[in-house]
Amino acid sequence: MWDRHPIRLSLLHMLPQVADAHGLALAPLLDRAGITGALDGAGVVARGQVSTVLQEAARRAGEPTFGLALAAKADPVQLGPSGHALFAGRTLRECLAAQARHMPTLQGGVRLQLVEAEGRAWWHHRFDDADPAHSAVLSEGVAGFMVAALRALAAAPAGRIRVSLPHQARAPSRAYEDMLASDVSFGSNQGLVIGFDADWLDRPNPHFAACWPQVDGVPSAVMLQEGHDDAALLAALERIVAAAARAGSLSLVDAARSLGLSPRTLQRRLARLGTRFEVLVDQWRHQQARQHLAAGGLPVASIARLLGYSDPAHFIRAFRRWEGDAPQLWRRSQLAPNGN
């Protein structure tokens, strides 16, 4: 199989550190796959090239579980919108939905699916057009990263996780089970599959809740129903809108539910502040659009997805309403004075 699907070099952001720890020079590894340039969000290569680099690194290091070592050093922030989205949902279910929505910003040819049955949830990850043996190190890196993320997002450091890898074992099963703290099997024809307790899906994401403003040591979310802190309400709504946009689930009803309020109560609170939920969303989208476009790093379609639009054309129309110009033209006008 010839895996020509695009992938951002930022997926290899942890390779220099891990290679150095194993006494490996980075340049020969990249040369092996014809890769040049910095391992950041700007570079895009074929996924087959990344698999070649990782296979060669594992071979030279003499480390069959090299992919799991990479996963342990992975930083979600370095993965761009996909990494941000994974940790930005209000629940694990929303986090996984947001990750799937933004995966195209990191790499193409990935199929993600969440299946629930008989009290278990199964997260499926499949690389299209990838040979399981050639992409083994990459698959193991994804497995290690996702197992750690699932435990963190569900606040479940312990719990039964089952990992099924698409390739044959490259080391004794016990080595994988110890590093993943999970049951592990090999040779699945379904791609990478990770199984866990289904009740994890609707647990609050502690990384989301921890960022709520505090008032006298009490999360302001608890105080919202008392109606005493309008600033806390608006701050909470901004975080909720950002998370919901990444997951593509923006709605007044959903936002109210997250706050523990009825939709009617939330509408009344916002009306007293002289605004509406739709206005707040529109203002947030406008502000975020300007920031992302001025930064110059993301394509317009990716920005549209981050802002919760189902179609980039809808974003373009909204931006014309805000700024009187198309996003690309506005971006050029902002970057030109700086010589960019």
Is-contact 280 288, C-beta < 8 A?
Answer: no
Pick from 112, 103, 140, 87: which is nearest to 6 by CA? Answer: 103
Whole-structure pTM value: 0.75
How high is the pLDDT of residue 340? 52
> 289 and 264 in one domain?
no
Cα R_g (the chain), whole angstroms:
22
Residue 2 backbone class (left: φ over 0; alpha: ψ -120 to 50; beta: rest): beta
> 293 and 151 in one domain?
no
Q: Give the domain-ending residue among 146, 165, 200.
A: 200
Q: Is residue 207 part of a domain?
A: no
Q: Give the domain-ending residue among 275, 302, 329.
A: 275
CA distances from residue 51 to 9, 11, 79, 118, 310 in whole angstroms, order as listed:
11, 11, 17, 35, 32
Number of domains in the chain: 3
> 107 and 78 in one domain?
yes
Range of the domain at 222: 212-275
Q: Is residue 48 part of a domain?
A: yes
Q: Which two three-digit tokens encode residue 168?
A: 């044959």
Cα–Cα distance between 173 and 152 in angstroms, integer?
A: 24
CA distances from residue 122 to 118, 149, 161, 176, 320 in whole angstroms, order as listed:
11, 15, 10, 19, 42
Q: What are phi and psi of 271, to 5 degrees?
A: -60, -40
* Averages of pLDDT over each 10 residues, the chain, 340 residues: 87 95 93 83 88 94 95 92 86 91 92 96 96 95 96 85 95 93 90 96 78 41 51 82 82 80 87 92 94 88 90 95 94 72
How high is the pLDDT of residue 221? 43
CATH of the domain at 334: 1.10.10.60
CATH of the domain at 48: 3.90.1520.10
> 222 and 179 in one domain?
no
Q: Is residue 196 part of a domain?
A: yes
> 256 and 303 in one domain?
no
How high is the pLDDT of residue 1? 57
Pick from 86, 85, 91, 119: which is nearest to 203 by CA? Answer: 91
Q: Which residues are 314's β-sheet partners?
A: none
> 167 and 87 in one domain?
yes
Q: How many CA atoms lie within 13 A of 1 on its CB side?
A: 17
How high is the pLDDT of residue 35? 87
Q: Is residue 309 part of a domain?
A: yes
DSSP string spanning 116-181? EETTEEEEEEEETT--TTTTHHHHHHHHHHHHHHHHHHTT-SSS--EEEESS--SS-HHHHHHHHT
Q: Which residues are 121's β-sheet partners?
A: 116, 196
Is-contact 65 173, C-beta < 8 A?
Answer: no
DSSP string spanning 57-70? HHHHHT-TTHHHHH
Cα–Cα distance between 205 and 90 in angstroms, integer?
A: 5
Which helix (H) or strand (E) covers residue 192, if one does? strand 192-197
Q: Give the domain-ending residue among 260, 275, 290.
A: 275
Q: Is residue 250 part of a domain?
A: yes
> 161 and 175 in one domain?
yes
> 252 and 294 in one domain?
no
